Amino acid sequence: MTAAPAQHLPRAGSPTPHTLVWGETWPVLEDFRTLAGERRVVPVVRRLLADDVTPVGLYRTLAASRPGTFIMESAEIDGGWSRYSFIGVASRATLTVDGDLAVWHGDVPAGVPTTGDPLEVLEATLRVLHTEAIDGLPPLTGGLVGALGWDVVRRWEPTLPATTPDELGVPEMTLCLASDLAVVDHVDGSVWLVANAINFDDTVDRMDEAHADAVRRLDDMEARLVAGAGTGGIDVPRVLVDTPEPELEFRSTREEFEEAVRQGKKAIVDGEVFQVVLSQRLDLECTASPLDVYRVLRTINPSPYMYYFQLVDAAGADFAVVGSSPETLVKVTDRRVVTFPIAGSRPRGATPAEDVELGIELLADAKELSEHIMLVDLSRNDLVKVCEPATVEVVEFMAIKRFSHIMHISSTVVGALRERATALEVFRAAFPAGTLSGAPKPRAIALIDELEPASRGIYGGTVGYFAFDGTMDMAIAIRTALIRAGRASVQAGGGIVADSVPALEYAESRNKAAAAVRAVQVASRLAARA
């Protein structure tokens, strides 16, 4: 099997992804043999009618919180759900980091480095497994899915060595080689079961065996869905019990955080930066399962990016990332790069009239507008690094975007990816988001190291995927809980500018952490109804 840009045209009379009826499998063996001769990865799919199941129910039935599994969903700005929800059922391998070296757990495809510089291993993996998209399938059928933490920036910024203690102990990169997925299509009520046939030995001798194995995995997923049909994957009803909520522990005192804000303002006055983003971490006990935390969070704070990843570190220890982020880092689709800088916020109004008034007030706030314009310029500069310069443009400027509990000023910056540039290069150009660092980025990051007491871990990093076909969708890891060994950590912050008020910045960081903290607290009080 070798990767090739050509797209296979099925023989006359055979099913295609566009014509699949419920219960039918694609590709059939003859078409699979042709596809397998052209590409390293072939998604074998089956489409089922499943309009009565939920993404959480599917995850519970098919994935059961095993390491290397995930849920990715999206709530539209108007309160509805986007078309697809992605459930990671199984991963053949997980790429993570131990010190300065990449580490794989599981089955590693032939041709992929098993160790070395983590970014070089990631780049090689995406290159070896690159496969052109197949028309008619959902937008994600396989790829590297997971989280990249704040400190991954130090891999390509040697002038920014880590200087703060790593108190959370999670890798800067954990990406699952997603092989089996269930994709919910909320428009037509179907579920796509996907079993990727990945050529692990780089030979053509086992095509029929690979197809049979993929079909067997589809059969197994379908059988588990049928077996769970009596419950629909539904957990027993839960109620809140009268137990104390976990108490918050603050990594920084209020005085320490406000002093950091004052130091950040001094750096701005001294001309070191235009803005710096400072954050604080809150820790609390978590007796709930990460899945229950996700269930609560998606209910109380639906957002464009909602996710639950069950992951492992280099030593094989489990941890989970649960979040509800409103903000894209960057997307690449059909070689079009898009980013949505967000800065400036107000709570939603209690009435439609108050909601409109708050939006008008936000657009009249000189501090918020100044910060937003700076971040739009930063996004344009990021995209120029990897796009054809003449194609980079702001197609929407300072629009009010309303989410479930908050509104933001948002703009849209787009560009056409340069020839031979990759999604990983786009990621490097855009990361970290200016909304989480400040500007200029290198000095702002160094200042964060000076003023924050510990490494950020997942916070300010990204969650999402690098698909096998070269597309990418990465959210900024905010409004997110890291759950490990019975503890949850939530971090939040805000952009510091010359006229920032330390007390207000402290309150804003607490408010931004509230939804994820509340989800942990509520989930920890859930119990089965007797």
Query: Is position 408 within any domain?
Result: no
Q: Which mean pLDDT values do the consecutive 10-residue runs of the chain (530 residues) have?
A: 39 69 91 88 94 91 95 74 91 94 92 93 95 92 97 89 89 97 92 89 74 95 83 55 79 96 97 95 95 94 94 93 95 94 86 93 89 90 95 95 82 95 96 93 95 96 96 97 97 92 93 93 73
Is 186 part of any domain?
yes
Strands 305-312, 69-73: pairing is antiparallel
As a whole number of angstroms, the distance between CA 250 and CA 517 comes to 12
> Is 393 a member of any domain?
no
The answer as to whether 52 is a domain residue is: yes
Residue 30 lies in a domain: yes
Q: Can you give the pLDDT at residue 81? A: 62
Domain count, the chain: 1
User: According to the model, what pLDDT value does residue 288 have?
Assistant: 93
The residue among 56, 88, 48 whose CA lies nearest residue 233 is 56
**Residue 15, token pair as written in the block:** 């099913």
Q: Is 439 left (phi over 0), alpha (psi -120 to 50) or beta?
A: beta
Question: Is the residue at 384 inside a domain?
Answer: no
- How far is 44 from 195, CA to CA, in rounded Å? 5
Q: What CATH number corresponds to the domain at position 306?
A: 3.60.120.10
- Give every CB contact of residue 312 below 8 A, 6+ residues apart in sequence: 67, 68, 94, 96, 105, 174, 318, 319
Give how far Cα 385 sits from Cα of 120, 335, 379, 417, Å. 20, 14, 10, 10
Q: Quote the tokens at residue 339.
A: 């980013």
Give residue 518's domain range.
25-335+417-528
9 within a domain of the structure (yes/no): no
Q: Are 339 and 429 in contact (CB under 8 A)?
A: no
Judge whether 475 and 302 are in contact, CB under 8 Å: no
Length of the chain as a residue count: 530
Measured CA to CA, the distance from residue 483 to residue 286 in angstroms comes to: 7
CB 179 within 8 Å of CB 195: yes
Candidates 4, 78, 46; CA nearest to 211 is 46
Which among 142, 102, 130 is positioned nearest to 118, based on CA atoms?
A: 102
- The answer to whether residues 510 and 252 touch, using CB atoms and an 8 Å cutoff, is no
Q: Is residue 359 part of a domain?
A: no
Residue 193 CB contacts under 8 Å (≥ 6 apart), including other chains: 45, 46, 47, 48, 181, 182, 218, 221, 222
Q: Which residues are catalytic?
A: 408, 435, 459, 479, 495
**pTM score, two decimals?**
0.91
